[in-house]
Amino acid sequence: MLRGEGLVAGYLGAPVLLKVSIEVERGEVFCLLGANGAGKSTIAKCLAGALGLRGGQVIIDDVDVTEAGPDERVGRGLSLVPEARHLFGRSSVRDNIILGGWTKSRSARSASFERVMDTFPHLGRLLKKRARDLSGGEQQMVAIARALMAEPRYLILDEPTLGLAPIYVDAILGQAAELARQGVGVLLIEQNVRKSLSIGHRAAVVETGRIVLTGTARELASNPSVVDSYLGGVV
Ligand SMILES: Nc1ncnc2c1ncn2[C@@H]1O[C@H](COP(=O)(O)OP(=O)(O)O)[C@@H](O)[C@H]1O
Ligand SMILES: [Mg+2]
C-alpha cells in the first residue's frame, strides 16, 4: 500500500495541506477529485517527495520514505507523472522514454523498454520524432511511458488528460485502468470526473487542503454533493 498519513505541507508561509491521509492499494485506480487550487497536486508532490512535509509520513509498502528524496522513492516503486509533463522537447521520443530507466543497467533498461513499448504500441512509429513535434495526447503517453520504465508499483497521474482531445482522454484513462489490472496502484487526479469515476475503484474529494469525502467510486458518483459540484447536477 502507498500511504500518506496526516500530511501537512505548504509553500513559503502559506499552509495548503491540513492533515491529509490517503491510502492507495496495488491493483486499484484511486481517483482524487477537487476544484482547482484544492491541493491535489500538492498531495501528489508530497507523496512523490517533490515537496517537503511539515508534518506526517509517507509509507510505501511498509517502508517509511518520509525522509527519502524523489529518486529514492522511484527506486522504492513510486513514480509521478506531473501535470507539466517535463519532456525534453528537442530530444527524440525514444530518448525521453529511455531516460525513465536511468538507474537501471543497460540490459534491464532495454527489457523495460520492450515492455513499455508493448503497453504503448502507438508510440512505436513515433520513436524517432522530437517530443515537441507530438500532439498533446502523444506527449502525455510519452510521459507515462517514461514513468513506466521504472516499473512502478504505484503511479501518480496528475491531470493526465488536461486539454486533450476526447480520443486521447479515453486512451489514457483506459491505460490507467489496464495498469491497475496489471497490479499497479494508480492515484488518478482528474477533472474528467465522470469518466475517471467510471474506471476508478475508490475516490476522495479534496477541499481546501482537506479530504472531505471518501468512498467507492460508485458511491461518490451518486453522492449528491459530488453530483452537484462535479457532475453538473445530473447523474
Ligand atoms: N509553487 C507554489 N507556490 C505557492 N503556492 C502554490 C504553489 N503551488 C500551488 N500553490 C497553492 O497551493 C494551493 C493548492 O494548489 P494545488 O495543490 O496545485 O491545487 P490543485 O492541484 O488541486 O489544483 C493553491 O492555493 C495554490 O495557489
Ligand atoms: Mg493540480
Q: What is the CATH number of the domain that holds 211?
A: 3.40.50.300
- C-beta of residue 131 within 8 angstroms of C-beta of residue 93: yes
Does 125 fall in a domain? no
- C-beta of residue 92 within 8 angstroms of C-beta of residue 84: no
Does 72 fall in a domain? yes
Q: Is the CB of 85 under 6 A from ligand 1?
A: no
Q: What is the pLDDT of residue 17?
A: 95
- Order of strands across the sheet with 185-189? 78-81, 154-158, 185-189, 29-33, 202-207, 210-216
Which ligand is nearest the CA of 36, by number? 1
Does 135 fall in a domain? no
Does 226 fall in a domain? yes
Pocket perturbation via mutation, ligand 1, pick of 20, 42, 157, 207 by most ligand atoms within 8 A of CB: 42
- The grid coordinates listed for 2 are 502507498
Residues spanned by the domain of 212? 2-85+155-230
In the chain, the largest separation of any two C-alpha atoms, in whole Å, equals: 52
**pLDDT string in tens for the chain (235-residue length):** 999 999 999 998 789 999 999 999 999 999 999 999 999 999 999 999 999 999 999 999 999 999 999 999 999 999 999 998 789 999 999 999 999 998 888 999 999 999 999 988 889 999 999 999 999 999 999 999 999 999 999 999 999 999 899 999 999 999 999 999 999 999 999 988 999 999 999 999 999 999 999 999 999 999 988 888 887 765 4
Q: What is the pLDDT of residue 233?
A: 62
Determine which residue's CA is closest to atom 2 belonging to ligand 1: 11
Q: How far apart are CA 18 and CA 58, in angstroms?
A: 15
In terms of Cα–Cα distance, which of 150, 160, 137, 152 is closest to 98?
A: 150
Does 25 fall in a domain? yes
Atom of ligand 1 nearest to the CA of 206: 22
Task: Name the CA dihedral angle for 145, 146, 152, 156, rounded to a multiple of 10 degrees.
Answer: -80
Determine which residue's CA is closest to atom 17 belonging to ligand 1: 39
For the chain, what is the domain count?
1
Pocket perturbation via mutation, ligand 1, pick of 8, 41, 47, 53 by most ligand atoms within 8 A of CB: 41
Does 17 fall in a domain? yes
Q: Is the CB of 41 under 6 A from ligand 1?
A: yes
